[in-house]
Each structure stands twice: as structure tokens, then as C-alpha cells.
Structure 1
Amino acid sequence: SDAGLPGSVFVPSGRARLAKWHMVVSSHLNTFYPARRALRVYMHHGPGFGILGNKTAIAMKNDVFLGLSEAERRWFETLRPGIFERERAFFAVGFPKSDALVRGDYDRAATLASLGLQQRPTILITSHWQPAATVRILGDAPLRLLATAFPGNNVIQTGHPWLWEPNRDIPADWQRELTARLRDVESSHPNARFVQTSDVEPLLAAADLLVADHSSVMTTFSLTDRPIVFFDNPQMEFCIAEFHDLFRRASHTFSQPEEIAPACRAALAGPQARAAGRRAMRETFYANPGHAAEAAAHVLASIGSVCSVRSPKWARILAMSHGQGAAALP
């Protein structure tokens, strides 16, 4: 929470530009460039790569890339050989936001109670915001069908915040209509809830089954090793075809509304049927599960006061990136 931070950490942008910084750490591309040299460090805001597009442009705009895994490094180097050879460094730290989920820090009972739900098996439906996503294609059908088919289970619908918040990519009329339909399902089914949140991890911790699309939320849920049902939309083309296969291997699949309830029944009846696929997904997207924040902090502390790739000390950072020397990741 920002409430515990001293006011001195907040600096007006004009003053910040003129101040001396050793590094600027971002989870999105930004336009803040200090007047004096500083390393630009990027870390993921979501735990996915190779799904929606070629992200090499992001890596090219940064000096240090805090990546998800060694698989991500290999993917970058296949797309652009030598990208992390001399002018950029890559560290497979993992995804810090998932640490609490892996550690079991969330209180499932408290989460369900806060939603007015009973302590019983729970199905969570998530959705990306893009046109090929579950809610964009199927609307309220997943929540309605599953709340009806599983009256003894909790069924929760959530999704990317852009599905509900004003933005230029989704028409406001569509948002209002969908929200009204989801609220109607919620009011007519006592086991159904529609939750608008940007913090999905507590819901993932409370879920026994995830219904997901190509959103990286599916990769996060694989950390729980619980069953997944995947909306295998024919309109969705993965950037890396083998990742599409990985999503399928980690889940039971459906592509039409009438297939969703049977897929959920099969997944709940055989929770270990796709365990090998879920393990492959975890290994592909997550280094240091449960300890990613520690790994990221170790990298930043080890970089220290180096503020430019032109520094004589940059060679030490590259050696760390290549796993050489005492300063490499523990």
C-alpha cells in the first residue's frame, strides 16, 4: 500500500527529470527520460509472452529486462539473435506478483465470505479484453450456463479491467449492456457472482477450477496445479504456435457455449488429467515461483550504481546476465 510510504518518495515530474537516478524501473513503456544517464529496467505487468505478439520492441527500448523465465530469453534470442549480447541484459527473475499465490498467503474462506458465498467448490471465469476473448465472444453465456449447470458450486465471473472501465478500444454501450446482463445472471442465481477487480490473485486462490482464454491469468493459475478449462477460440492466433498447444495440453477445452459445462465436468472429475501440461506451463512462464520478488531485488541490488551501458562496469552486468560470476542470481 502507498499509505505506508514516506512522502519524500513522491517527486514531481519536472524535478524528477533533473534529479540523478541510477535506474528507471517500469512495468509498461513510459516517456519519462531523466536528463542524466540512468539504466532503463523493464519488468512484466502480466505473466505472458509469445501469446499476443512480438515483444522485442519493448526489450529494445530498455537496458535491463527482468524476464519471466529462461524460455523467454530463448524466445527473444530466436527472434533477434544477439539481443542480450552486449547492449542489453536479461535476467529470468519470474513474476513477483504471483509470489503470494504460490506461498498460500491468500485466505480462501475470507475471499468467499466477502462475496457472500458459501464455503464450497468454486468455478472462476476470467476473460481478456481483446476481441477474441471469452466475454467479448460469448458475453454472459459462461456465467449463466455454469451457474445453472452447477447449482452446488460457486461460479464467479471476472475479467480484465478494460472490459468494464472506459477506454477507446471497447464501446461504452457494449460495456453497459454486458454489465447489465451479468448482473441479471447474478441476481437470478444465488451461487453466481460478477466481480470487477484488478486484483485477480485472491480469486485464483479461492477457485477449484478456472475457465480461461488466452489471458496470462491462465498461466498464473497453473501455479496452483488445479484444473483449467480453456476457451479455444478458432479466431485467436497465438504469436508462437507451440504456446497454443501448451495452453491446450494444460486444460480441457471448449469452443462453443454448449461445450463449456461438459468440459468443466470432465476437468473436475479428473483434476490430474492435464497435470503434465500444467507443469510444462509453469516451467515455461515462471522462474523462482514464490521468490520472484527476491530474485528481482537481488538483480537490482547487484547492479548497484551502474547507470549506463557505456560504464566500464557494464561488463559485470552482462556477466551476471549470462550467469557468470559471484553476482549471478542465487
Structure 2
Amino acid sequence: MPVCPKRYLFYIAQNYAYAMLRPLQQVIKARGDAVYWFLEGSEVDPKHLRGDELCWQSVNQVIEWQPDAVFVPGNVVPSFIPGLKVALFHGFDTGKRKSEGNKGHFAIRDCFDLYCTQGPSSTARFQELAQQHGHFEVKETGWAALDPLFQTQSGNPFDSTDGRKTILMCSTFSKHISCARQLFDTVKRLTTSGEWRWLIQFHPKMDPEVVAMYRSLESEHCQFIETDNVLPLLTAADAMLCDTSSIVLMFLMQHKPVVTFNNKMPGPHLYNITDESKVHQALTHVLMQPPELINAIKQYTEHIHPYTDGHSSERVLAATDELLAKGTSHLKAKPSNIVRHLKMRKKLAYWKL
């Protein structure tokens, strides 16, 4: 008998999730299964949907469709959305949330049946939490969002042939750890000099005032980019200037150097500085690809994401299908978080029982 196509829902709450899930979507469609998107709220812009991407407009439609599994590159998903709930994460653990007084990457919010972890550094802790809580499984798959980083790509709009090195500057939106305001005058001076080509991209929640400041730097030497897909920027740059944003770890996957400013978890894999007057010196140094730094980067990335084959999406689907086949009867019931449950119902204007 023919096998019925599986139904997979992509539940997203931020624009950057589009690019994170598209590698997985490509694999799902290639094997003949169905994908629909669901956009949680006003922070997700439907204009980023492509012409061939399908989207449910209401919770009622999702429930009627009855997805087999729901993939979430975020922190929460409503319990009233049907299907196996799979956490895919929206970044790596940089430690910045620990400084804000919560568990960050390892927070268990009682929403998921399966966590697809990125590498040994996250798998071991989630396995401990799985034993402690008992209501979810853990499978190390690699991060599907990075698959294109390890596959041959062509036509990168941010590539250049002018011979200069390219610096990518990024920053998180959290004011107390963002480098953007403090480094503005320095970056303005460096972009004006023309020594390097600059690409600048910030977290979508960045203060609009800061965005306007950096937009003013646009010139033949500097381009400010707002995008839902940062991977082409990562591949186009030779070095990065950043703070404690998780995009730092994505950039390191290419074994390229990063200069961080006041990073909250510095280590030998980063060239961290605390004095803005050292930015030029630091970038000049890392662009020389110092062997000690590059070796430290390689060791570090092996620990957080050892998968460089570009097939993490396939591993995510295999782990999901395995749990679908096995079922979840062996897992404990999830705790009922009434407050969160009501907040999600209010946000999605869904009150049916």
C-alpha cells in the first residue's frame, strides 16, 4: 500500500526563522511530504513567504489539518496545536541569557516532545534534563539551519571582487551587552578609511535609533543589510566584529576569526577586546589567520556542532519520524502551565476547548 504523505507544520515567531527552516523544508518536499507555515504574531512579516510556500492563516485551519509534527525554532509552542512538538532552537548557547538571570538555551518550558540538539556541548545537558523531567526525548542531529553553510552555493549577492578584505559587523539587541552604540565612532572612522569593505547587520529587535545611526554609514565601503537570511553574509566575510550574539558561533563554523567586544564568555576561540581603541589592531591581527586562533576555533566548533556534511535536516526528520513511529506513551505527561497556556490563547485569539 502507498504511504500517505506526512504533514509538517513550521511554527515561527520571528522573521529570522524563515531562513532557519527552509533547509528542512527542502528535504521534506523532496521526499514528497507536505509543509505548511504558521506565523505566530505581528513580529512575523508574511511578505517573506515565497510564492511556493503554503501558510495557514488561523489556528482552526491548523487543527483541522492535523499536522504530524510541529517544528519550532523558538522557545514555546501552544499545547492546543496538534502534532509532535520538536524544538530546533534559534541559535547557539552564548551564555548571554545566564547574565540576565535565566537558564537561556537550556530552559525547559514544558512545550516539546523532542529536542534536536546541535552538538556535544548541548546534548549532554539536555539528556540530563530529559532524565530529570521525563516528558521529552533528546537527539543530537546538528542544526538544520546551518546546512546551506556546508553546501556549495552560487550567486552570493554580498561577494566582492575588489580585492579588499570584508568585515561583517553584527550585534545583539540587548542593551547591556550590545557593542553597537559604544563602537559607533570607531566603526564610522574605519568604514570611512576604505581599508576594508564592511557589511553591517543587526538583530531584528535592535533599537531603531541604533539602526539609523549605522545606516548613515552606508557608502562605497560600507553596506547596511536587513535580511531574514544571514548565511550569505557569513560566507562573504573574512572576519567578524561582534559582542555576545549567537551569530558569532555561526560565523565560527566556517573556521573564520571573530573579534568580540566585551564578550560574556570569552575563550581561546575568540579574540576578545575591552577597549574600543583596539578594534583596528584586533581586526588586522585576526585577518592574518593566526594558527593558534584558527586551531582553537576548530576545536571549539567540533564541540558545539561537529556536523559539516550539510545533512542535519535529514537527521532531524529521521529523529522526528522515529518518535512518531514509537509514540510518546513512554513519556510523562507535560506539566500544565496554566499562565503560559492562557497567554498563548490570548495571543492567538483562540478560546475553543
| Inter-partner Cα distance in structure 2 for 1:20 and 1:123 | 46
Conserved? CA contact 2:56–2:62, under 8 Å: no
Structure 1 position 260, deviation (Å):
0.5
Superposed displacement of residue 307, structure 1: 4.7
In the TM superposition, residue 77 of structure 1 has moved relative to its aligned partner by 4.8
Q: 1:138 to 1:21 in 2, by over 3 A?
A: same
| Higher-RCO chain (CA-CA 8 Å, sequence separation at least 6) | 1
Q: CA deviation at 1:256?
A: 1.9
Q: Which position in structure 2 is the counterpart of 1:262?
A: 281
Distance in 1 between residues matched to 2:51 and 2:140, nearest whole Å:
30
Question: Which deviations, in whole Å up to 9, do the C-alpha atoms of 1:61-97 show, x marking residues without a partner?
Answer: 311111111221223356x47237x432101111111
Partner of 1:183: 215
- The match for 1:319 is none
| Separation in structure 1 between the aligned mates of residue 242 and residue 155 of structure 2, nearest angstrom | 22
Tell me, in whole angstroms, the C-alpha distance in 2 between the residues paired with 1:144 and 1:271: 26
1:1-330 alignment to 2 at 5 Å? 2-5=50-53, 7=54, 10=56, 12-17=58-63, 20-34=66-80, 38-48=83-93, 50-53=95-98, 54=103, 55-58=105-108, 60-77=110-127, 80=129, 82-83=131-132, 86-108=134-156, 110-112=157-159, 118-148=162-192, 151-163=194-206, 170=207, 175-176=208-209, 178-187=210-219, 190-233=220-263, 236=264, 244-245=265-266, 248-289=267-308, 290-310=310-330
Q: Gaps (5+ residues) in structure 2? A: 1-48, 332-353
Q: Which amino acid aligns with 2:60?
A: G
Aligned-pair distance for 1:40?
1.9
Distance change (3 Å), C-alpha of 1:121 and 1:62:
same
Larger mean CA deviation between 22-31 and 302-311 belongs to: 302-311
CA 1:141 to 1:98, structure 2 compared with 1: closer, same or farther past 3 Å?
farther
Q: Secondary structure at the match of 1:101?
A: helix
Contact persistence 2:76–2:111 (CA under 8 A): no
Matched letter for residue 257 of structure 1 = E
Query: In the superposition, relative to structure 1, how do residues 283 and 60 fare at CA in structure 2: closer, same or farther (>3 Å)?
Result: farther
Distance between the aligned counterparts of 1:123 and 1:29, measured in 2? 31
Taking the aligned partners of 1:46 and 1:278, their CA distance within structure 2 comes to: 18
Cα distance in structure 1, aligned partners of 2:68 and 2:330? 13
Cα offset, 1:56, TM superposition: 3.7
8 Å CA contact retained: 2:186, 2:276: yes
Structure 1 counterpart of 2:321, one-letter code:
A
Identical columns (%):
18
Distance 1:103 1:118 in 2: 25
Counterparts of 1:20 and 1:39 in 2: how far apart (Å)?
10
- Alignment partner, residue 326 of structure 1: none
Quote the offset at 1:137 in angstroms.
Answer: 4.1
Change in CA separation of 1:31 and 1:304 when aligned onto 2, cut-off 3 Å? closer
Contact 2:62-2:81 within 8 A present in 1 as well: no
Q: 1:201-233 CA deviation, whole Å, 9 max, x = no partner? A: 101100011112111111111121122211125
The 2-side partners of 1:155 and 1:68 are apart by: 30
Higher helix proportion: 1
Give the deviation of 1:141 after TM superposition. 2.8
**1:17–1:33 Cα contact (<8 Å) kept:** no
Distance in 1 (CA, whole Å) between partners of 2:294 and 2:108 is: 33
User: Which consecutive unaligned segments of at least 5 residues does structure 1 have?
Assistant: 164-169, 237-243, 312-330
CA distance in 2, matches of 1:192, 1:269: 21
Count of residues paired in the alignment:
278
CA distance in 1, matches of 2:197, 2:212: 20
- Equivalent residue letter for 1:72: S
Report Cα offsets for 1:244-299 as digits up to 9, x if no partner: 24xx3112221121110010111112443301221122122214232211211221
Flag the structure with higher strand content: 2
When residues 186 and 131 of structure 1 are mapped into structure 2, their CA distance, relative to the original with a 3 A threshold, is same
Match of 2:4 in 1: none
Distance 1:11 1:287 in 2: 38
